[in-house]
Structure 1
Amino acid sequence: MFAADPSFKKRSIATLNAEAVAHLKAGDDLRCVAAFAKVFRKTRDNHLTHKDLGICHSNRAASYLNLGLFEEALWDARKAQILAEEKFRRERGDPSSDAPRVYMKAFARVGFAHMGLKEPRLAKIAFENGLKMDNGNVELKRGLEEASDAILRDLLHGRGTETLALPASTHVGGKIGNLPHAAPLHHIHPRDMLPVKLLTPFQAENDYHLKDTYNYMTVQADIRLPKRHFAYLEDVARRTKYAAAVKAAVARLHADARDVRVLNLGCGAGLLAMEALRAGAHHVVATDRWLYHATAAKENLLNNGFSDDQVKVVYKRPTDLAMLRDVPISCNLIVNDIIDDGLLASGIIPAFRHAVNSLCLPDAILLPSSATMYAMPVEMRVDDVCGIDVSAMNQYRWSPTYTSAVAPGENAWIPLAPPVEVWTFDFQNPPEESEQRRVDLAFEREGKFNAVVFWYTLHLIDDITITTAPVGFGPNEGGFNFTNRRGFDDDDDGDDDDDADDARAHTERRPTSMHPSAQYLPGEIKVAEGDVVPLTCAHNTVGVQFRVDDAEYIHVHKNDASFPQYHFAALKDTRRAEAYDAAIARQIAKINERDPRNGAHVLDVGAGSGLLSMMAARAGAESVLACEWHGALATCARRNVAANKMSSQVTVAHADVAKLSRGHKGARHEGYNMVVVDMFDAGLTGEHVMWMLANARKNVVTPEHVVVPAAATMYCMGVEAYTSEVCGFDMSAFNKYRWDKTYETVRIGDVPHRALTKPKKAFEFFFDGSQTRGKGRESVLRMETIASGYMNAIVVWFDLHMDEHETITTAPFGIGKGGALIE
């Protein structure tokens, strides 16, 4: 090559580059590569450089791609990235610089080189990285679509699975102990979340790196826990079963002619302490780690006529209780209600262990006496909504620990194998060592195994039990049945009414303040009917963990704690999605009919998964800008758009819509004539949606634009949410803890209340700004009362008017659209 043209070094670099570019344009890729080789030989031998060498490497990478030499193309493309980035830094601020364009082309070259090397996952990363900087680049959009398709094809043929970069967690075992006093705590990061050496409260309170965070979280928990305790007071199943167990335990001790001395761990508002005294206990020591709980317990005990001679309230951690100083005499009945959805995380085992070893008699009765934990593999996914693929969201199903309050049923998860018993904890002999064991999961359904749902049954005394099992999976509930995700019979035997009655009966027996929990796996495992997968289960007395060792994952989950997990529930809201889909289609049809030349150009404010943007594209929008501030959500939206082959219409911008301007971040210079938005919280305006829409109108929206939804009407109603008596005890003093400085999201049907006024319209919002004045409003309403009582809460909801044809509402049960009462 060089021998055929020995005088090439006499020509300038610009001349040699022009010759190579001419070959490239002519489609002669082999000559193009040879010509660029002369350019790079001259620069090397003569120790020369040039500001456009990055372009040369990018062009040679294009020729290599055309020749099928993908490794060589990858090297040149990466070299072009490095040189273009250096040039960009040198010429920052120069509007005539071509460095950004070369840089974006280099990302595309890297991506297509990986595609040629059959590495679609790496190609996808390259295309996504480029689109983060140039969200409108057509070549990168096309590449992302091709890479997404290639990944799906590989998975379909059993290729392209992922494994964890680091080895599986080490064996969790050994005697539980505390960390050395001088341990550098800020360097301790237990990857498996189940360390054997535990952090003591004293260390957390005094370590320089942790104490501020620990003390802040302690104060926040102290403030918030009393309000959460109302769920316990309203939990009929849990209260009645504990009361029955306390009564039976006291009666058993009385039958042996013994005085009953009770230690109530986690006394809360003092309800179980009062139950024990009413059942005939001689003395009760009620202890709680949280200040406001202990204060409320003392107040409630005095209000119900129990004196200091009968009960002693101690504000202290259960593991810090001392004999004589806190507990005057050894107890023969321990009532422990330090229980959470994950069973162990609140410290039930350390509390029992300390009490059994130091505070009670050897033959003391423990409530609960034991607990049995069960686990079941499930699929938790959302694949499509209204025919649109949103499966990219599933890669962000992750939590640093288990998630509680997991809802049962078809819309939450799909069971893949029967539940298995994992552990039975005997609280009379609480474990002092961590434990690890393996159980076999026998899969009876094909699916993508990405989470473990687990629950437990508390054995209180005799045959009194409490279970947090999903409906259909508890004791004596018919076992496991794949024909119905809830576990009930779903055949055509005409017994649907019986099945519904069974479901209601099982639900009524469930505690409402305790729920099953779920732990996400590091990724998704494809399973088939008949597969047997070993599940490793571990606990360290204060936490549990489930994992599959050496698993091959379809996708590895992204560990992003900031990802808003509520989006998964929003995507499951079919009624809401269908209303948006129909309204968007109607408005785009109107715009296209009114202005067929320009068509509809849509701005999606707070795009999230990109669902509304793709609805608009499917309905015929000419262009859509999906604006999303959260980086991971913007990535999900971009992947969803690529999976649905809508990249030519939809551009995803990782930007704050309030700061968006025309000509930047992919925004059209002509602006947008339609806006779609779904950023409404329970209070409608809590996500600053009105402010964002106002800025969008000012910066990037045309005057004649339409908005979906068009308007909203807010209603309110005065109610009495007041706890007076619980199990015959006066608990009214506890109501002071209901107050909060802001509103809270509730399912009003789950909160005992009485309506005291008729619903009243409070505000109307028009999202196009046509009838909205000022930045805020205050109104005085005249509420019509319908019942007497203590009005201590206002229920607020809204009707969302999608357009003149469709309205959806968040109204409580019994109230329809427009605030009308339903008979």
Structure 2
Amino acid sequence: MRPGWAKAHFRLGRALAALYQWSEAAEAFAAGLRLDPGNAEIAAAGRAARTQAEYEIACQAQHLAAHRRDLARRREVREGMERQFRESMAAPDWELEDYDWRPTFFPGSKLERMDRRALMADPHASALAAHLAALADLAAPKAALAALRDEVRSSALEAACRSAMAEQPGAHVLVLGGGGGLAALLAARSGAGRVTAVERGRLLFRMAAQTLAANAGALGAARIALLDRPLHSVGVAGEELPEDPVDWDAEERRVRAAAALMPARADVLVADLLDHSVLGMGLLPALDYAGARLLAPGARVVPACVQVWAMLVEMRVGRAAGFDLSVMDRYRWHPGLERVQLDRLPFRRLSEAFKAARVDLQARVDSARGSAELPQAVWESDEALTVLPTAAGSWNAVAIWFEVDMCEGVRVASWSADDADCPAIAESWCQAVQYLDARPVAKGDAVSVRVRWDMGQLHFAAHVPAGRARHAFVPRWHFDMVLDEQRNEAFDGAIRRAIAFRRGTGAQRITALDIGAGSGLLSMMALRAGADWVTAVEISGHMADAAAEALVANGFAGRSVVVARDVRRVHADPQPGGRPADLDARADIVIFEVFDSGVLGEGVLHMLAWARARLAAPDATLVPMGATVYCQPIEMRLDTAAGFRMTAANCWNYCPDYEGLDLAACRQQWLALADPIEAMAFDFYEAAEDMAPAEVALRASAIAGGICNAVAFWFELQLDEAATLSTSPYAAKGPTWQQAVQWVEETRLMPGDRLTITAAHDTYGLSFKVVNDAQCDHDMECVPLQDPAWKAALANANAANAALAQAVAQSPLEFRAVACAALRLAARPHDAEVDAAQAAAFATRMLS
């Protein structure tokens, strides 16, 4: 047995590794190493294969454990339904086995082009596509407000327009997208002889029309024509609209028959259709249509080119507060490119920035002009790149941003990894992340990254294709929460003191109840602090799985149990029908962190009232013990953008309920009009009494002049007598909570004005009203709280959503049909011509 024979085993190992048969590859390398013990190359290859094999074995074990728990949970549901049907003497039109089905997202589905005609033949898919279109139309104006506030973006756009007008004075400019009408106004002010503007949706058109009306006297505004038509129904006078390869429905044919006509082809195209995903807003199909149907030969395109940048990164939970929470990493994924702000996101850089793709928009329009056939390829670009990791780690994501060449000498980017050569940053675009199956990488060992793009998406893949199906989705705020060191330290200290106090009073056995346990982090804090037993209650089955695995991984399996149920369906006593109690004893300590930005939005009062009455000992300790809410009237509105009046756009801020905003991160966008005042206080030991709706009138005095159009509010948790945790925008805080903002009717205030703020709660949320006590007319321009067309569209969307929710709740067959349609639309939304963000959001709700 000569050492040279080890080469055969090495070659076999390499071949098996290429087939992703890691266990067999590790055995081959081990055999070769036995023949040649000093061979460093074989040893390194063997270690890498064993690492990958161990990772895949661990994944399979975790999947199997989750599947078993899911089957047990579904068995409990089936038994409960069988009892219900026996008691009601009713029979469903579906089998109980249908409850065993669960939706699954396959990463490979993103790689296969969908037939839109065949997909729309499915009534569930066509109805869902229409619903997603309505939701996208509703969301678009509010999203456009961010672009209006982005001075870098608007100044770069105007510079490009001026450059184009210098080459072609008085040119006819076609503006696509933009939202709010700002791009059209910039083109007109730059010297365009005529501007034709086309918006992406009905409500964006309405928003732009309001802005253009408010700026009717601006330079060049009279030369703007805003077309009330979708782009595919716009044509040129004297030219026939050619037949489109897509089979339109009756409504689309009607719209095309009444097509809006441009008087002549345009000389310049301004396409403000970029978002975090680069191609997700339909930039390329819009350019193809305009190039073939609406632009003159030699038309200038703004922007001219988009350079996509990327970076290998590690985004993992790993350990938090001293516990192994790596189980959470399996739930970190997204159907497409997730919109993020990298500067506020914890991650490790594993490589330098590299050029991932280049999309030449000018060349594309030039090639599309006059073409009867638009691009039909599945992938317009498919390239394998070699990237050199600069650090060792677990590679599970690609961070993505882009740089735009507006015109010669004008560059603007959505982010930059290198401050030394940093172009101007347009913050409204944000950045994106694509998650991959995690795999170890070593510093200096080159990895292959496959980058594809087509008409509507960018897609990144490692040299090993993503193969793990996704059965569950966990929102990103869960990851922010477990990595919030400030929150973790505060809760850990309060839990330690609560358990020490119970021990000090002579307690022999301490049991804890964790309501809304999530990842199980607070449960493990209680066990580490000395609790004898913890019952962790979590309504989400997926999070309950994660909590159970985390408790086992950290050695607490014998001192805890996870109950996947709403806490209001948990009992400490045996129930009728022979169902045993969920708790072996009433809890001595009740731990809970079920707060949204507005404190009450997750139903904390209802959960506590039930727990105090049914699950906790009479003298149980609560962590936290109470909360105090503070409020402040603010001005958060847009007056001007690039020198144009934008006050009319402020009605598009509105949403029916309060929303979470990071006011500290956007401090320049709002003005405090009065000092913060205490609005309400909740004693969690009196949760049952606090459940009665309440209203209180608060008095404040204006410290600054302005138009009050919102009330900001936040809370301070009293964890125990020694510790508090604040979500104030004026305090240093972690990423767990934002502040809450409720939009109110506009009220102009002058310094010294007295105002009344009415605060109310209905046990599930807080609401505010503001009245100027002086009731003076300060010559304000009155902007409605909301646009009436938007309000009507919202009512229709809510009705459709309610009907859909009722249908899927009543029948597992209906749930299956809707879930399958949702996952197909989320995989390749551009094939179905639906909004990518709305398709992803709906699909993840089906998997939550």
TM, length-normalised to structure 1 = 0.70
**Would you say the 8 A contact 1:659–1:695 is kept in 2?**
no
Residue 699 of structure 2 is matched in structure 1 by 782
**Would you say the 8 A contact 1:455–1:469 is kept in 2?**
yes
Work out which of the residue numbers 374, 393, 408 in structure 2 matches 1:462.
Answer: 408
**Would you say the 8 A contact 2:174–2:270 is kept in 1?**
yes
**Would you say the 8 A contact 1:766–1:772 is kept in 2?**
no
Work out which of the residue numbers 193, 213, 232 in structure 2 matches 1:302.
Answer: 213
Superposed displacement of residue 339, structure 1: 1.0
1:526 pairs with 2:440: yes
Superposed displacement of residue 405, structure 1: 2.0
Residue 357 of structure 2 is matched in structure 1 by 423
**Would you say the 8 A contact 2:606–2:687 is kept in 1?**
no
Are residues 119 and 419 of structure 1, via their aligned partners in 2, closer, same or farther at CA, if it must alter by over 3 Å?
closer
Are residues 317 and 715 of structure 1, via their aligned partners in 2, closer, same or farther at CA, if it must alter by over 3 Å?
same
Superposed displacement of residue 775, structure 1: 2.8
1:623 pairs with 2:557: no
2:227 alignment partner AA: V
Residue 276 of structure 2 is matched in structure 1 by 341
Superposed displacement of residue 561, structure 1: 5.1
**Distance in 1 between residues matched to 2:673 and 2:692, nearest whole Å:** 31
CA RMSD of superposed structures (Å): 2.9
Superposed displacement of residue 197, structure 1: 5.5
Residue 634 of structure 1 is matched in structure 2 by 544
Are residues 559 and 805 of structure 1, via their aligned partners in 2, closer, same or farther at CA, if it must alter by over 3 Å?
same
Residue 325 of structure 2 is matched in structure 1 by 390
1:289-337 Cα deviation digits (max 9, x unpaired): 2112111212221221258851111233334421224322111111110
**Distance in 2 between residues matched to 1:205 and 1:315, nearest whole Å:** 26
Are residues 441 and 319 of structure 1, via their aligned partners in 2, closer, same or farther at CA, if it must alter by over 3 Å?
farther
SS at structure 1 position matched to 2:568: helix
SS at structure 2 position matched to 1:535: strand
2:400 alignment partner AA: F
**Distance in 1 between residues matched to 2:532 and 2:231, nearest whole Å:** 65
1:350-374 Cα deviation digits (max 9, x unpaired): 1112112221122211110011112
Q: Which has the higher strand share?
A: 2
Residue 171 of structure 2 is matched in structure 1 by 260
Superposed displacement of residue 707, structure 1: 1.0
SS at structure 2 position matched to 1:779: strand
SS at structure 2 position matched to 1:800: strand
**Distance in 1 between residues matched to 2:725 and 2:104, nearest whole Å:** 51
**Distance in 1 between residues matched to 2:569 and 2:675, nearest whole Å:** 42
SS at structure 2 position matched to 1:786: coil
1:745 alignment partner AA: G
1:522-555 Cα deviation digits (max 9, x unpaired): x21111112111111111121111112436x9xx
**Distance in 2 between residues matched to 1:642 and 1:815, nearest whole Å:** 34
Work out which of the residue numbers 606, 628, 631 in structure 2 matches 1:716.
Answer: 631
Aligned ranges 1:90-101 → 2 under 5 Å? none
2:724 alignment partner AA: T
1:382 alignment partner AA: V
**Would you say the 8 A contact 2:216–2:222 is kept in 1?**
no
Residue 470 of structure 2 is matched in structure 1 by 559
Residue 671 of structure 2 is matched in structure 1 by 754
SS at structure 2 position matched to 1:757: coil
**Distance in 2 between residues matched to 1:120 and 1:401, nearest whole Å:** 26
1:445 pairs with 2:391: yes
1:769 pairs with 2:686: yes
Which runs of 5 or more residues in structure 2 are unaligned? Answer: 1-55, 74-102, 238-259, 368-374, 575-579, 740-848
1:312 pairs with 2:312: no
**Distance in 1 between residues matched to 2:106 and 2:389, nearest whole Å:** 34
1:63-84 Cα deviation digits (max 9, x unpaired): xxxxxxxxxxxxxxxxxxxxxx
Residue 254 of structure 2 is matched in structure 1 by none
Are residues 816 and 785 of structure 1, via their aligned partners in 2, closer, same or farther at CA, if it must alter by over 3 Å?
farther
SS at structure 2 position matched to 1:408: helix
**Distance in 2 between residues matched to 1:596 and 1:683, nearest whole Å:** 36
**Distance in 2 between residues matched to 1:190 and 1:615, nearest whole Å:** 36
1:476 alignment partner AA: D
Are residues 797 and 558 of structure 1, via their aligned partners in 2, closer, same or farther at CA, if it must alter by over 3 Å?
farther
SS at structure 1 position matched to 2:386: strand
SS at structure 1 position matched to 2:235: coil
Superposed displacement of residue 401, structure 1: 0.9
Are residues 653 and 729 of structure 1, via their aligned partners in 2, closer, same or farther at CA, if it must alter by over 3 Å?
same
SS at structure 2 position matched to 1:429: helix
1:602 pairs with 2:512: yes
**Would you say the 8 A contact 1:405–1:514 is kept in 2?**
no
Residue 47 of structure 1 is matched in structure 2 by none
Are residues 666 and 576 of structure 1, via their aligned partners in 2, closer, same or farther at CA, if it must alter by over 3 Å?
farther
**Distance in 1 between residues matched to 2:105 and 2:501, nearest whole Å:** 60
1:416-467 Cα deviation digits (max 9, x unpaired): 1222212211112228342211001211211001111111111110111111
SS at structure 1 position matched to 2:430: coil
1:706-746 Cα deviation digits (max 9, x unpaired): 11111100011111112122111111111111222100010
Residue 412 of structure 1 is matched in structure 2 by 346
Superposed displacement of residue 585, structure 1: 0.5
1:511 pairs with 2:426: yes
Superposed displacement of residue 266, structure 1: 0.2
1:614 alignment partner AA: M
**Would you say the 8 A contact 2:311–2:353 is kept in 1?**
yes
Residue 350 of structure 1 is matched in structure 2 by 285
Work out which of the residue numbers 539, 548, 557 in structure 1 matches 2:453.
Answer: 539
Aligned ranges 1:194-273 → 2 under 5 Å? 194-196=111-113, 199=116, 208-254=123-169, 259-273=170-184
1:191 pairs with 2:108: yes
**Distance in 2 between residues matched to 1:119 and 1:249, nearest whole Å:** 59
**Would you say the 8 A contact 2:727–2:733 is kept in 1?**
no
SS at structure 1 position matched to 2:439: strand
**Would you say the 8 A contact 1:604–1:626 is kept in 2?**
yes
Residue 647 of structure 1 is matched in structure 2 by 557
Residue 797 of structure 2 is matched in structure 1 by none
Residue 288 of structure 1 is matched in structure 2 by 199
Superposed displacement of residue 188, structure 1: 13
Superposed displacement of residue 596, structure 1: 2.9
**Would you say the 8 A contact 1:717–1:758 is kept in 2?**
yes
Residue 99 of structure 1 is matched in structure 2 by none
**Distance in 1 between residues matched to 2:683 and 2:105, nearest whole Å:** 53
Superposed displacement of residue 252, structure 1: 2.6
**Distance in 1 between residues matched to 2:57 and 2:573, nearest whole Å:** 35
**Would you say the 8 A contact 1:262–1:331 is kept in 2?**
yes
Residue 710 of structure 2 is matched in structure 1 by 793
**Distance in 1 between residues matched to 2:732 and 2:187, nearest whole Å:** 42
Aligned residues between the structures = 608
2:394 alignment partner AA: K
1:76-105 Cα deviation digits (max 9, x unpaired): xxxxxxxxxxxxxxxxxxxxxxxxxxxxxx
**Distance in 2 between residues matched to 1:350 and 1:474, nearest whole Å:** 34
**Would you say the 8 A contact 1:267–1:294 is kept in 2?**
no
**Would you say the 8 A contact 2:673–2:703 is kept in 1?**
yes
1:313 alignment partner AA: L
Work out which of the residue numbers 684, 688, 701 in structure 1 matches 2:616.
Answer: 701
**Distance in 2 between residues matched to 1:666 and 1:403, nearest whole Å:** 42
SS at structure 1 position matched to 2:168: helix
2:444 alignment partner AA: G
Greater shift in the superposed pair: 564-573 or 604-613:
564-573
Aligned ranges 1:56-135 → 2 under 5 Å? none
SS at structure 2 position matched to 1:222: helix
Are residues 196 and 322 of structure 1, via their aligned partners in 2, closer, same or farther at CA, if it must alter by over 3 Å?
farther
**Would you say the 8 A contact 2:496–2:526 is kept in 1?**
yes
SS at structure 1 position matched to 2:451: strand
Residue 418 of structure 2 is matched in structure 1 by 473
**Would you say the 8 A contact 1:581–1:615 is kept in 2?**
yes
**Would you say the 8 A contact 2:177–2:271 is kept in 1?**
yes
Are residues 771 and 123 of structure 1, via their aligned partners in 2, closer, same or farther at CA, if it must alter by over 3 Å?
closer
Residue 262 of structure 2 is matched in structure 1 by 327
